[in-house]
Chains A and B, each alone.
Chain A
Amino acid sequence: EAGVAQSPRYKIIEKRQSVAFWCNPISGHATLYWYQQILGQGPKLLIQFQNNGVVDDSQLPKDRFSAERLKGVDSTLKIQPAKLEDSAVYLCASSSHYEQYFGPGTRLTVT
């Protein structure tokens, strides 16, 4: 069974630029999550999708972050414009009923 796929793996941008991340969940997993992980901290939920609907986006900075999950499968997370404090690892995860599995993550550096 293929795992959660993410791209790109690394991205370096300047502040005020935009960036987009892509995620393909494990086949059949209805729930998809985007997390932000800052060094030394646990993953922080940004947004949770159930199929193509948003379940929780209360911690998503909506003035600069957006996410969508078209057709209930792939998802994209966008940041526009980026700030220095957005430097972090962005993790995508998916789950069926019980367990959650992470993709490899995208390491974003904003200079």
Chain B
Amino acid sequence: QKEVEQNSGPLSVPEGAIASLNCTYSDRGSQSFFWYRQYSGKSPELIMSIYSNGDKEDGRFTAQLNKASQYVSLLIRDSQPSDSATYLCAVRDTGNQFYFGTGTSLTVIP
């Protein structure tokens, strides 16, 4: 069974701070990694994808991947109240199947 684990939170950060979200996965053969944002009552929205070790930056978001440690993280800089949501980590296997964590709830306090 391929597993993806996240701290469920809730994680609270003040506005303007850096939010750090973490994820570990069990399948060492996984090649593609994703972060989705899910607002309450809405469907998951893809915000970041990362395929190779290191950092990938997109605006205020930075995804970090360490395949040796089977670890993926998402940093949100200058957090805004609109970033308050549940963040889902997902891993894609070689069969194009995606495995999701249970999500981390983030609250940004104004």
Binding site for B on A (CB under 8 A): 31, 33, 40-45, 48, 50, 55-56, 89, 91, 93, 95, 98-105
Contacts and interface: CB of A to CB of B under 8 A. Distances in A.
A73 B67 CA distance: 35
**Contact-size category for B:** 20 to 34
Interface of B: 4, 32, 34, 36, 42-46, 49, 51, 88, 90, 92, 95-98, 100-103
Nearest to A43: B100
B95 A56 contact: yes
B47 to A, nearest CB: 11
19 contacts: A41-B102, A41-B103, A42-B100, A43-B44, A43-B88, A43-B100, A45-B97, A45-B98, A50-B96, A56-B97, A89-B43, A91-B43, A95-B96, A99-B34, A99-B49, A100-B46, A102-B46, A104-B42, A105-B43
B46 A99 contact: yes
A1 B107 CA distance: 31
Nearest to A45: B97
A50 B4 CA distance: 24
Contacts of A45: 97-98
Contacts of B42: 104-105
A57 to B, nearest CB: 12
Given A42-B88, A91-B44, 7 more contacts: A43-B88, A45-B98, A48-B97, A93-B98, A95-B96, A101-B46, A105-B43
